[in-house]
Structure 1
Amino acid sequence: MARTSDIEKAAGVLRAGGLVALPTETVYGLGANAEDPTAVSRIFQVKGRPPSHPLIVHIGGADQLDDWVEEVPATARLLAEHFWPGPLTLVLRRGRRVPLEATGGLETVAVRVPDHPVALALLSAFGGGVTAPSANRFGQVSPTTAQHVRAELGDGVDFVLDGGPCQVGVESTIVDATGEVPSILRPGGVTREDLEAVLGRPLTVHATSRVRVPGQHPSHYAPRARVVLVEPEAVVAEAELAQERGHRVGVFLPPSLTDAAVKAHAVAAVPASMNAYARGLYGLLRELDQKGCDLIFASLPAEEGLGLAIANRLRRAAGPRESA
């Protein structure tokens, strides 16, 4: 776990225009001073991320929101009061402190307060906002440990703050709060049901949206192996058929089939708890990659609670990939 001296060093790196990998409750982020366009641009270079893809600005508390956005509608204020610190990102009109480099050229900005003691300590020591997408190569599996960051980005990061494994494991829920009717642009660590309970109204979940936000690329959160989605009852048969045809097959075995014997290269048992599944999802994808699988067979969970976010990540991981 990061020491006070580590946090002070990381804050100094940010002030000097460097990049810091920081833990959050969702995934590890690749952070830069949100008000330094040069440092922000370096995030895109290190990740290989298109500059048109906006970043999330992390701040130290809901009381700082007005410093970063043009206005805060009542709905956004209500959500911030209920869910911050936490895995909820609000999309609002950009304030003048936020450079266009951080927003992908948009006049909107995504903002959140992370619920992790190390991240909050860093934001306090630094005294400003930190733009921080996931600390991995663009489109690939998000990191949930400091070791994941070091293995993937290496010297591209100036300092890695180790805050232990991430406790949520999937990225934040992104809510468009710019209009009269809020909507979910990316499901994540705050469930649709929890948001609807606070707002007292149903929310639409958009596969795509007029507002560009992180995580909407057709192929995202993807391992090297190709992910194939099938119905739960077909996972074993489809996986074994592919294995017989010469593939090195990895299997996400659903809880209903935990006792099934599977002829495959590697098998990962899916937890029955959606909290545990979300926390371990990216680690399981990385594990099957490391075991040399070239295909991963999985099925979608019920799309309720955190299952909605897990299903979203699996669909993106199985999305069409650009040819090399």
Structure 2
Amino acid sequence: MWQGAKDEDLQAAAAALRAGGLVAFPTETVYGLGADGLNAAACAQIFEAKGRPQDNPLILHIADRAMLEDIVEPLPPAGQALADRFWPGPLTLILRRRETVPDVVTAGLDTVAVRWPDHPVAQALIRATGRPLAAPSANKSGRPSPTQAWHVQADFGDELAGVIDGGQTAVGVESTIVDVTVDPPSLLRPGGITKEALEAVIGPVADPTLTNRPKAPGMKYRHYAPNVPVLRLPNAGLDTARAFLAQHAGEKVGLLLDDESLNVLAPFDPSVLVWNLGPKTHPELAAARLFDGLRRLEAAGCDIMLIASYDETGMGLAVANRINKLSQPLKEEDA
């Protein structure tokens, strides 16, 4: 494992990328599984390593405007406004591609997803490589996204050229994705930039129209789930939670709940494992803690997990999006 604070490690990682290898690296959102984004063969390895469907496009990560100009057509006004306001940062834009971008990156579409990450290790690695990096989340497809280096190693072992350890990521969920090739722009995936923040810059943002050819990651397939069942607790559902815990007494139950709910439900049986997602009024804390909690409770041997629901406003929209994709609603018969 390479250390992000060491220049010699970053140079070694960049050399591995230039040679066509796969390197996992930290961003402010989650860890990415990087390949030379202009090398079709290297990008194809991402799909094989992750078990990722071929129609699920990749995101190209850049470190300066010159890289952007090499891979996309001139930005439309909405795209320029969002880039000026939120780049570098947890925002991905869907833009018109140039022929320099391999078809494998875009799933054959005439658009490409692009992000300029706001993380010193990611930026240094891209600059050292000298190429945009294709980098979906560094997890096996369908698994919780990685927010620490050990999450990557748990999924891939020694399959990769290496992992750069940059500590825990700050945002904890993937980037917001906005398609600015349509009018009005369309929010394809909620993430680290809220819908409200987007609309403060460019006006109304539409919800996506689902198709069989997704323009962005996270639109079509089940994502983010551990290998044990996760049931979603409805808001104001503490009586339901008590019934659930009574029904599963003696089992190893994992609870991923806000601290207010945990305080009301406590004390717990020793078989219950608890992961605090923070105050319900601060969903950005839940975003930062969500995927790590899922992986830690799974590693601790939970038989089943119960997770909180979140209101779909502000950062709660991104948290709810991830939770809804990884869980099933808790039904009366389950409690």
Common topology (TM > 0.5): yes
Which sits farther off after the overlay, 161-170 or 63-72? 63-72
State how far apart, in whole Å, the 2-side matches of 1:222 and 1:82 are: 33
Amino acid at match of 1:289: E
Change (3 A) 1:173 1:280: same
> Quick check: 2:145–2:224 contact (8 Å CA) kept in 1?
yes
Counterparts of residues 82-93 of structure 1 (less than 5 Å): 82-93=85-96
State how far apart, in whole Å, the 2-side matches of 1:92 and 1:195 are: 16
Q: CA deviation at 1:154?
A: 1.3
Counterparts of residues 40-189 of structure 1 (less than 5 Å): 40-189=43-192
2:201 is aligned, of 193, 198, 202, to: 198
> Quick check: 2:55–2:214 contact (8 Å CA) kept in 1?
no
Q: CA deviation at 1:34?
A: 0.7
> Quick check: 1:223–1:286 contact (8 Å CA) kept in 2?
yes
Q: CA deviation at 1:275?
A: 2.1
Change (3 A) 1:195 1:44: same
Q: CA deviation at 1:253?
A: 2.4
CA RMSD of aligned residues (A): 1.8
Which sits farther off after the overlay, 19-28 or 1-10? 1-10
Which sits farther off after the overlay, 139-148 or 268-277? 268-277
Cα deviations by residue, 1:76-95 (Å, 9 ceiling, x for unpaired)? 11111110110000011221
Cα deviations by residue, 1:19-71 (Å, 9 ceiling, x for unpaired)? 11111000000000011111100111110111111100001124532211133
Query: Which residue of structure 1 aligns with residue 295 of structure 2?
Result: 286
Secondary structure of residue in 2 paired with 1:156 = coil
Amino acid at match of 2:242: A
Secondary structure of residue in 2 paired with 1:194 = helix
TM-score normalised to structure 1 length: 0.93
Secondary structure of residue in 2 paired with 1:110 = strand
Cα deviations by residue, 1:193-237 (Å, 9 ceiling, x for unpaired)? 1111111x2222338356431112342011112111121332522
Change (3 A) 1:72 1:230: same
1:268 is aligned, of 272, 275, 298, to: 275
TM-score normalised to structure 2 length: 0.90
| Count of residues paired in the alignment | 318
State how far apart, in whole Å, the 2-side matches of 1:196 and 1:103 are: 26
Secondary structure of residue in 2 paired with 1:233 = coil
Residue 256, structure 1, aligned to residue 265, structure 2:
no
Q: CA deviation at 1:239?
A: 2.9
Secondary structure of residue in 2 paired with 1:53 = coil
Amino acid at match of 2:163: V
Secondary structure of residue in 2 paired with 1:256 = helix
> Quick check: 1:33–1:39 contact (8 Å CA) kept in 2?
yes
Residue 300, structure 1, aligned to residue 309, structure 2:
yes
> Quick check: 1:224–1:294 contact (8 Å CA) kept in 2?
no
2:25 is aligned, of 22, 25, 39, to: 22
1:237 is aligned, of 224, 242, 252, to: 242
Change (3 A) 1:208 1:242: farther
State how far apart, in whole Å, the 2-side matches of 1:208 and 1:291 are: 37
State how far apart, in whole Å, the 2-side matches of 1:265 and 1:239 are: 12
Change (3 A) 1:126 1:25: same
Q: CA deviation at 1:242?
A: 4.0
Change (3 A) 1:319 1:29: farther
Secondary structure of residue in 1 paired with 2:165 = coil
> Quick check: 1:172–1:190 contact (8 Å CA) kept in 2?
yes
Q: CA deviation at 1:103?
A: 1.1
Cα deviations by residue, 1:249-307 (Å, 9 ceiling, x for unpaired)? 21122233232224453122220122221111100111111121132112211211111
| Structure 1, unaligned runs of 5 or more | none
Secondary structure of residue in 1 paired with 2:157 = helix
State how far apart, in whole Å, the 2-side matches of 1:277 and 1:207 are: 28
